[in-house]
Amino acid sequence: MATPFGVFRSPNISPDPEVGIGNWSMLDFINAMVLGLSPELEHYYPAFPYPHYQNINYDDLIDLKTYLDTLPPSPNQVADHELIFPYTFRRGVGLWKWRYLERNKSLRTSDPKTPVERGRYLVTGPGHCGACHTPRDVFGGEMVDRFLAGAESFEVGEGPEGESEGRIPNITPHSDGIGDWSETDIAYSLESGFDPDFDSFGGSMVEVQENTARLSAEDRAAIAAYLKSIPARRSD
């Protein structure tokens, strides 16, 4: 993943005991997902979206680790990140956490009881929608007052060194975003990959939509209900 801070590479999370997470305990996994800490208690860079995964309830985290343990182990050795100075120093991530990590805790919903609460849980936790759709400041922290209002994209594509800058859309109920979409439109787009004008999703959202299509109809409707309930925010 190319970013202004350098290139981050996704780790091996198969149950391989040498290069994956096969030797991780359940506590190791939860510490990584909630606190952004490795089993050796080193900070993970927040390109790993633990600021959002900290909103996932523990039952779901346990289920997730249990599922990952059933996958075939892979011996793939992933290369290190290629970051620019001074982001090569992981200790600085501790300061980043101090400034940003606690921000999403007010969003946590451990036992959703209504469709909006269920949608809030899915959007702010497992779906980590804000990781892409919320703009960031110069230190890479999400601008929570612009939650889901759209952001820059640095997806792999055409351009210098394979990078292509673009925009990730506003998904708040503003006229700049999805204000004229109904809840039915949103739920259908998550299932089909088509917006109300029958344009298809592009970029990394294609893979996201392929996964939201696997959700239950009730969960897609809950996401739609939540997105229509949040404050409307103007794009940049």
| Mean pLDDT of the chain, nearest integer | 87
pLDDT number for residue 154: 63
pLDDT number for residue 230: 95
Measured torsion, CA atoms of residues 158, 159, 163, 166, in degrees rounded to the nearest 10: -80
pLDDT interval class at 158 (50, 70, 90): very low
pLDDT number for residue 82: 83
- 161 has a pLDDT exceeding 60: no
Whether residues 224 and 119 fall in one domain: yes
Number of domains composing the chain: 2
Whether residues 64 and 118 fall in one domain: no
Whether residues 124 and 65 fall in one domain: no
Q: Per 3-state DSSP, what percentage of the chain is helix, strand, and coil (rounded to 5)? A: 40, 10, 50
Q: Specify which of 75-84, 155-164, 179-188 reaches the highest per-range mean pLDDT.
A: 179-188
pLDDT interval class at 164 (50, 70, 90): very low
Residue 182: half-sphere exposure toward Cβ, Cα within 13 Å? 5
Largest Cα–Cα distance in the chain? 50
pLDDT number for residue 165: 52
Find the range with the poorest average confidence among 96-110, 142-156, 219-233: 96-110
- 197 has a pLDDT exceeding 80: yes
Whether residues 136 and 94 fall in one domain: no
Q: Specify which of 65-69, 98-102, 110-114, 206-210 reaches the highest per-range mean pLDDT.
A: 65-69
Whether residues 163 and 226 fall in one domain: yes
Can you read off the two tokens belonging to residue 233?
A: 């925010």
Listing from the earlier edge strand, what are the strands of the sheet with 6-7?
2-3, 6-7, 82-83
Whether residues 160 and 88 fall in one domain: no
- 219 has a pLDDT exceeding 70: yes
Residue type, position 148, single letter: L
Full domain range(s) for residue 47:
1-104
Whether residues 203 and 156 fall in one domain: yes
Whether residues 193 and 90 fall in one domain: no
Residue where a domain stops, chosen among 72, 104, 136: 104
Residue where a domain stops, chosen among 63, 89, 104: 104
Whether residues 25 and 140 fall in one domain: no
Number of CB atoms found within 10 A of residue 106's CB: 9
Distance CA 189, CA 221 (A): 11
* Span 12-70, pLDDT tens digits: 999 999 999 999 999 999 999 999 999 999 999 988 999 999 999 899 999 999 999 99
Whether residues 24 and 46 fall in one domain: yes
Whether residues 142 and 218 fall in one domain: yes
- 159 has a pLDDT exceeding 50: no
Residue where a domain stops, chosen among 104, 119, 136: 104
* Span 108-149, pLDDT tens digits: 555 667 999 999 999 999 999 998 999 998 888 899 899 999
pLDDT number for residue 89: 81
Whether residues 126 and 151 fall in one domain: yes
pLDDT interval class at 162 (50, 70, 90): very low
